[in-house]
Structure 1
């Protein structure tokens, strides 16, 4: 009931002194042993209570330290009614608790900020200790590997059995390349490592980036340069041949010679002329790969775009069930003519793949996240695994009468829109092309 510490101590000392005085009186003066026993009992209780009360400061201080150790900042001490010195002591303890709470809060905010910053990166980031325990794996890497947060590096063996050992063995500032397959998509991974010391323990920080798009872009640039050289050289040869063969034909036709000789020369020159024109048309077709115009961006309604495309190919798709799963309000930014050319090419490829199939179905589906994705799927014969990596290479074709530039041209157009086009296929079951813009 009495909160002032000094007064409480003084009262307890007076009570103990009075009990000692009574004990001496009943032992030496009045000689009452039974009462002396009672007084001894109360005296012991009073001394124990006095020690417990005095020791309360130590208990409070211990409670304060344990609260800090356990990061529990809800413990506070009553400052008033205990005298000036205890008011100052408990006030200081409360201020220290508040300061630690602020530091902990700032640390938590900084941690959340750094975590959000790492998750915002488009490069995959993973951090682990020397035992292979994963401490951080950002969203970009989870999305790249199509896996949730993992506990240990060994779990990555489900993606590729070489991956855990490579991450453990890679040295700081070293760069490694690795090809892995995730959900039927081939990834070209560029892996870079660094190390840092935290609480006297080394951690390894790995950045993982899929550079397939960059490799494809460089490959396409190389092909474009080759095409320019080939076009230039072929055209330099074809143009005079075409002109000369036409002139010779006119001279032979207008000159008096033996009919049999004239016929043979004329037939030969006609063959030269026709072949020359065919070669010229050949080079004109492939020249398209190097002369795609800069996209003229406008807002396009995807649903209307594909309905218009289906109308254009309806004569070729009479026996095919076509399903379009696109929200009517879905919009994208792009060049109408260029994107229409890409989607017509992909739809026609799907229709051709369904030739001779029972219950043929062509499905067009679109969805949006950070990009717009358009998937064009068929349940056709599919593409062989040894050919699927080559179908975007200029001049490569799996068709008997194909030119081999349709998909290469489509990929280049999508790249001009800062997008990507990929393919997954299961032989005998079907193929899916996914355009992401």
Structure 2
């Protein structure tokens, strides 16, 4: 029998034995006194004392057995739950009191853990089915950058099998560059038998207290091809429309003039024919000039030079531009900041947007002798937002704002906004045009530029 634990402390069940033994000493002493004081024979006295001693010892160790049995039963139940086996239950049919409450608690805990385990397994099956069906390639790796998971999309993308690559370093499938990029970035990836442009997103999670990495890879090559095809279709539609608008009247007028001259006698051109010729040639010249102007606008949009950047005061850039607009009243809000940008290109963007704001004011139902324009500078973390607000009627068609050569103006070229957005994107910024929430204003043009 082992009374002392390895830690040097007395076991719980042995403490109960010791308490029971100490408590039975008094009982045994009293019994011994009365037995010895009795008038029975010495042999009967010895037999009685031996029986009393044996009964007391037996009861003490029976108590130890019962306590130990209950503790071992509870331990086995908890150990089974810890091992993931929730089928065992504590027998509570002939138990009452505190032990019955404890067994009920254990059985309730086993039921809840069994239910949670079932829900967890069902969710794992659901997640596995989802990652098996989605087109995004998913690769997970541990803290040593060894592969721990690949979904079918990843297997197809890298032309491999997860069973073959499990526990291999991510370098084996060409993902060594992932950890050198930002958490979400587009870059080229050398894949088996091809090179593809992919969008890579990375994130981390904990497993066993260790940081794991999960990599989401989207092959955007096909998406880019579709976008490129769509862009070409839009461009060809615009080019066809503009060229047809010029060539159709030219062809019609040329046919009419040819008919007039062929019906005239040789060496004879009447005054009416002469007038038709002059008018026709004037229209042909005008349409040819318009078509040439259209091609020049297209070349300006297609051959935008790279920005020649320098550190510039945004106040200076704005003040240089607003001086070009007579008859406009400007309100400039916000503190001056420095931007790293091409001074001339940013001025071109401001000219386009302020001109649009001025035209919106003058076309507004609210007539005023002065065109009021508000320019507000707002710091947005590492970006500077330049908001140009007019008092016009707002934007009616927001879908076609940035389509090249689309315009609702009689003399507009349709490239101002497209050119402005392209300039800002080349600077790492963006252009937004929205209707103002403030009823005081009409539309708001927001220029976003990286600030120094």
Identify the TM-score tier after normalising by the shorter chain.
Answer: 0.3 to 0.5
Structure label with greater radius of gyration: 2
In the superposition, the TM-score normalised over structure 2's length comes to 0.43
TM score, norm. by length of structure 1: 0.44
